[in-house]
């Protein structure tokens, strides 16, 4: 589940499975009724300014925000990016897909040995907030530190890919990791266990933020980290507020990603999402320079639609995470691909939209493929053409051909009790019944839900309601974590328990492809192959809505990810 933003609703890799995200899924979709859809989906519902100065406040629901890069799953454009730079980052502009760009490095990496070796060169003159130079050894140390068990919790792509990393326990007791070489202060060379074309994207994940060599042994390092970005943590009141002040050693001429417009950024924690929406809609003087990190709920959006001032300050993504129904391929009749294909016709996606946000228009568009909107190489196709309400007759026909003329009974649909998950599951239950598929709802708290999904032997469910937003803008991050055999159980997120050796080989080949265009074609072909095998039913691409105060500028959402670009935001006097 990625925590795309540690200060907002969590929607993505580790919150992928509608457990903790259902509230966000419903809340994020109600947008067109506010009249801001055309504007805000492209970021047009905000003002643009290059004015510097002032204090920006971010109102967050969570009571913890971690600025330890080893423990963070924050996207490159959200809170962690204000304090820490990475080897690479994302250029996100209004309405456009994210572009991989250099950050601390001079470029996005030079592959050799067929993509097994990647070399980066640091820019000249980089300095930490304590005035010491940023060296390649500090990037190496930060990565090695992320292997320390006490600092777990962050994204782990590099841990699976670096050669010789299996069993490595971090630098405090395990010594150095030889697959990260630093021949001089500006050069860092990674040796991978296998070719990997997306290593440049991986280098944009939090663990690639430098930590001064030898530092960061303390458990609370995230409350007083040594910064490489435009802001440093000035004060940290656990559960209350964090104040970020300018890092005077950061220079704009070395950073093309961060605008660093405000003088101060305040993160106000423990703020209830509905209360935040009410405050921002009212736009009192205290909140005019604030924005909410939480999704605006459907109920609040109704009120926003009746408030012209607030409606103009609503920003909504054009698309977002994929919501889908997993079919546990290891369970009884679901091992038969013909039975699974019947589900593609049995599901009423329009009913799911209504359960999500009240109308089809508001919920986010119907999905027929697996790769997220806004990701390069994505292709639109539909292998199972049916009206939005499904085709129960076609589903019954396929079930009969598979030897089940009386339909299916006794299937268990796993769903989290959080948010509007039960209502969405009931909509699926009703539509499946029309196709002769009887399911019982297995409503669990989020811990039990994730335990079932991550279990080695999934005896708990036949179907599961899930959601996924990738950690970086590559189809690789869409498909491998959900459909590779290696992602089954043991903490993995292959909730369909789907295993196809041909797909595994294709995933490995696509991952090894360095040329982005060729890789995109390979991933699109994998999307089609997986959909042919029908381990999941794509439902909708959800949408996220956020509200800002009237003096917040440059508040927009790109085509990916479905979150505001914190690094661009400013305030006016």
Q: Where are the beta strands (DSSP E) in 13-162?
A: 55-59, 88-91, 99-102, 110-112, 117-121
223/336 same-domain check:
no
Are 213 and 343 in a shared domain? no
The answer as to whether 507 is a domain residue is yes
Mark which of 201, 228, 255 sits at the end of a domain. Answer: 228
Instruction: Supply the pLDDT for residue 52.
Output: 96
Give the DSSP H or E segment for 274.
Answer: helix 273-282
Check whether the bond before 561 is cis (ω within 30° of 0): yes
Give the three-class secondary structure for 3: coil
Same domain, 332 and 450: yes
In 3D space, the residue among 350, 373, 372 whose CA is nearest the CA of residue 363 turns out to be 350
- As a whole number of angstroms, the distance between CA 228 and CA 131 comes to 10
Q: What is the mean pLDDT of residues 541-565?
A: 93
250 located within any domain: no
Q: Is residue 371 part of a domain?
A: yes
Please write the tens of the pLDDT for every residue from 156-167.
999 999 999 999
Domain that includes residue 163, residue range: 65-228
Domain boundary pick from 196, 228, 260: 228
- Domain for residue 72, yes or no? yes
Q: 341 with 195, same domain?
A: no
406 within a domain of the structure (yes/no): yes
Rounded to whole angstroms, the Cα distance separating 469 from 452 reads 20
Token match 């499975």: residue?
17
Q: Which of 402, 383, 399 is nearest to 531 (CA)?
A: 383
Let me know whether 368 and 477 are in one domain.
yes
Nearest-angstrom CA–CA distance, 80 and 305:
32
Asked if residue 12 is part of any domain, the answer here is no
Q: So what's the pLDDT on residue 31? A: 26
Among residues 197, 213, 228, the one where a domain terminates is 228
Question: The domain that contains 498 carries what CATH number?
Answer: 3.10.105.10
CA dist 388 and 61 (Å) reads 35
Cα–Cα distance between 72 and 446 in angstroms, integer?
Answer: 20
The set of residues, in sequence order, having a beta carbon less than 8 Å from that of 227 and lying 6+ positions away, is: 83, 84, 128, 129, 233, 247, 250
pTM of the predicted protein model: 0.89
For residue 302, the surrounding DSSP H or E stretch is helix 298-305
- Tens digit of each residue's pLDDT (9 = 90 or more) over 79-96: 999 999 999 999 998 878
Q: For 89-121, how does the pLDDT look when each residue is reduced to its tens digit (9 = 90+)?
A: 999 988 788 899 999 999 999 999 999 999 999
Asked if 26 and 298 count as a contact pair (C-beta separation under 8 A), the reply is yes
Place of tokens 């539909």: 382
- CATH code for the domain of 91: 3.40.190.10
Inter-CA distances, 253 with 74, 124, 258, 354, 552, Å: 24, 11, 10, 49, 24
pLDDT at 410 over 50: yes
Domain shared by 365 and 222, yes or no? no
Q: Are residues 71 and 202 in the same domain?
A: yes
Residue 97: closest CA among 518, 447, 559, 570: 559
Phi and psi angles of residue 148, each rounded to the nearest 5 degrees, phi first: -65, 125
- With residues binned 3-state (H G I as helix, E B as strand, rest as coil), the percentages for the chain, rounded to 5, are 30, 20, 50
| Residue 361: per-residue pLDDT | 66
Q: Could you give the number of structural domains in the chain?
A: 2
Structure tokens at 519: 């890789």
Per the domain annotation, does 167 fall within a domain?
yes
As a whole number, mean pLDDT of residues 538-548 equals 93
DSSP character string of 116-136: TEEEEEBPTT-B-TTSPBP-H
Residues 339 and 198 in one domain: no
- Could you tell me if 473 and 334 lie in one domain? yes
Question: Is residue 458 pLDDT above 90, yes or no?
Answer: no
- pLDDT band at residue 201, thresholds of 50, 70 and 90? very high
Is 330 among the domain residues? yes
């Amino acid at each position: 589940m990625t925590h795309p933003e540690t200060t907002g609703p969590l929607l993505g890799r580790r919150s992928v499975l509608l457990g903790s995200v259902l509230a966000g899924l419903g809340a994020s979709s109600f947008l067109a009724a506010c009249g801001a859809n055309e504007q805000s989906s492209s970021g047009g519902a905000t003002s643009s300014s290059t004015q510097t100065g002032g204090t920006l406040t971010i109102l967050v629901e969570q009571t913890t925000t971690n600025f330890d890069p080893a423990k963070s799953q924050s996207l490159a454009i959200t809170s962690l990016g204000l304090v820490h730079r990475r080897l690479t980052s994302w250029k996100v502009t209004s309405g456009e897909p994210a572009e991989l760009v250099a950050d601390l490095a001079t470029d996005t990496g030079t592959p050799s040995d067929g993509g097994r070796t990647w070399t980066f060169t640091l820019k000249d003159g980089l300095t930490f907030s304590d005035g010491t130079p940023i060296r390649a050894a500090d990037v190496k140390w930060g990565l090695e530190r992320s292997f320390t068990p006490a600092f777990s919790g962050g994204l782990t792509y590099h841990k699976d890919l670096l050669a010789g990393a299996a069993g490595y326990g971090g630098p405090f007791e395990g010594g150095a990791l030889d697959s990260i070489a630093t021949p001089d202060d500006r050069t860092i060379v990674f040796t991978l266990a296998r070719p990997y074309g997306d290593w440049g994207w991986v280098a944009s994940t939090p663990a690639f933020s430098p930590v001064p060599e030898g530092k960061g042994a303390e458990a609370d390092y995230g409350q007083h980290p040594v910064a490489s970005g435009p802001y440093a943590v000035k004060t940290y009141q656990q559960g209350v507020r964090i104040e970020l002040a300018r890092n005077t050693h950061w220079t704009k001429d070395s950073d093309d990603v961060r605008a660093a417009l405000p003088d101060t950024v305040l993160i106000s924690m423990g703020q209830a999402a509905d209360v935040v929406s009410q405050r921002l809609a009212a736009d009192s003087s205290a909140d005019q320079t604030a924005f909410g990190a939480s999704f605006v709920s459907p109920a609040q959006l109704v009120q926003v639609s009746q408030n012209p001032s607030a409606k103009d300050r609503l920003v909504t993504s054009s698309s977002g995470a994929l919501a889908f129904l997993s079919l546990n391929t290891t369970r009884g009749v679901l091992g038969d691909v013909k039975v699974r294909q019947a589900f593609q016709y049995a599901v009423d996606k329009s009913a799911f939209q209504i359960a999500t946000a009240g109308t089809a228009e508001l919920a986010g568009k119907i999905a027929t493929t697996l790769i997220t909107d806004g990701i390069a190489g994505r292709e639109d196709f539909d292998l199972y053409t049916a009206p939005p309400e499904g085709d129960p007759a076609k589903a019954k026909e396929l079930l009969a051909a598979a030897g089940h003329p009386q339909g299916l009974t006794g299937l268990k649909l796993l769903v989290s009790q959080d948010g509007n998950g039960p209502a969405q599951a009931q909509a699926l239950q009703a539509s499946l019944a029309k196709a002769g598929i009887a399911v019982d709802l297995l409503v669990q708290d989020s811990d039990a839900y994730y335990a079932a999904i991550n279990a080695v032997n999934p005896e708990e469910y036949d179907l599961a309601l899930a959601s996924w937003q990738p950690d970086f803008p590559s189809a690789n991050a869409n498909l491998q974590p959900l459909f590779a055999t290696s992602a089954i159980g043991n903490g993995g997120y292959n909730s369909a328990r789907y295993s196809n050796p041909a797909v595994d080989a294709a995933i490995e080949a696509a991952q090894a492809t360095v040329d982005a265009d060729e890789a995109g074609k390979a991933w699109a072909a994998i999307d089609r192959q997986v959909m042919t095998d029908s381990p999941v039913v794509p439902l909708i691409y959800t949408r996220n809505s956020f509200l800002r105060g009237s003096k917040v500028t440059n508040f927009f959402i790109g085509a990916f990810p479905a979150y505001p670009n914190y690094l661009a935001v400013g305030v006016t006097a």
